[in-house]
Structure formats: C-alpha cells, structure tokens
Structure 1
C-alpha cells in the first residue's frame, strides 16, 4: 500500500511537471504570436497574419486548459481534453512543417505531443492519483 502511494505521488509530480512545461510553452507562444509575432524566428509568421492570430489564440487556450481546470478542480476532465487538443495541434504542426519542407523542425512538436499524450494517459487512468500539487 505504501509503495503504491509513493508511486502514485511520483507519477503525480511527473504529470504536474509535464503540465507546467506544456502550459508555460503554449502560454509563451500564444502571447508572442499575439503581441510580438515579428520577434519570432519562424518564416511562416511573416507569410500569414491570420494563421498567426488563430494559432496564437489556440496556444493560449491550450496553455490555460492543460493546467487550470485540474488545479482549480473546475471540470478537471477539460485538462484531458486540452491534452488531446495539444496532441492534435502538434500533429497538425508536424504536417504543416513537412509540407513546407521543414521536416527538420518537427522535433519540438513531437516532444510536446509526447508530453500531451503522457498527461492524457496519466490523468485519465484508473489509478488513485491525487491531483493536488
């Protein structure tokens, strides 16, 4: 029993760490795309202001949704949906970059997708995992 609780605590810390990394990344990306898009080094940003606006808003929602519902205990299942949404967003980003001949740029997207899948798996599991920080 004690070993199971210790393992659950370790998993919870790992999940919260992944969620904070995802939140910080997507909140930063969303703010930068909306406030200072010209400061970002991505060539596609200068080509499509509408895509920058749309992805900036999606990034902000992802950053908020991956942490706040669970942290505030308000509709905590939204955190799982946000994780799946981030996965879909990262797969779309991979396809976008590959279609532009930028396949070398998708490593970060794959890593973020992996973190999102980990969060979705961990937060929807049947194990007794405390959601408190």
Structure 2
C-alpha cells in the first residue's frame, strides 16, 4: 500500500505542481491557449486555484516524508479531489462536456490517494 501511495502521490504532485505553478506565475494571455476558462475567472481567483494546487502537491509529499502531521496527506488528497469537482462544474457550465474526462480521472486518482494515505496514519 505504501508503494502504491508514493507512486500515485508523486504523479499527482508533479501534475499539480506544474499546473498550479503555471496558474500562479503566468499571465492570462499565456494561460488562455491551455485554459480557455481564464477569461471568465478573475486573475486573483486563478492565482488562488494555483496556490491551492501547489499546496496540495506539497501536502501529498511533505507530511509523509517528514512524519509530521501525516493526516495532512489525506486532507491534501481530499482537497485536490474537491478542486476537480469545481473544475468539472466549471467545464459543464461552459458546455465543455468533452473537457471533464481529465477532471474525472484526476478526481478518481485523488480519491484513491486519499484512501491510500489512510494507511500511512
């Protein structure tokens, strides 16, 4: 179970660190080709989503690595799953049904990571 958690946590952390970092540090024009929704969302909110994603990535890795507050890994995985619920809702509200496949996949992976993280407690 621990190996499965680490493989999944590393994959999710890499994805969310990259995605969140882009949202944190790139301007709207550079984000638009990959994320058309940024035109409808104020940039402070885009930056906040990026910060949540980066913090979630750190939360998947740092608590289990340090052995301090390991339960935060479960909370981080649940938080990232909730991010995908919100992302899926945004895509559906924009009529982008094709776009939610990635959101559903990431939601399932984050839920599995949360379940696997309970074995670390």
Shorter-chain TM-score bucket reads 0.7 to 0.9
| Aligned-pair CA distance for 1:72 | 1.2
Q: How many residues align?
A: 117
When Rg is computed on C-alpha atoms for both structures, the one with the higher figure is 1
Q: Is the 8 A contact 2:24 2:47 kept in 1?
A: yes
Greater share of helix: 2
TM-score by length of 2: 0.87
| Aligned-pair CA distance for 1:115 | 1.1
User: Which portions of structure 1, spanning 4 or more consecutive aligned residues, are displaced by more than 3 angstroms?
Assistant: none
TM-score by length of 1: 0.80
Residue 52, structure 1, aligned to residue 46, structure 2: yes
Distance 1:42 1:105 in 2: 11
| Structure 2 gap segments, 5+ residues each | none
Aligned to 1:124: 118
Aligned match for 1:13, one of 3, 25, 41: 3
Aligned to 1:31: 21
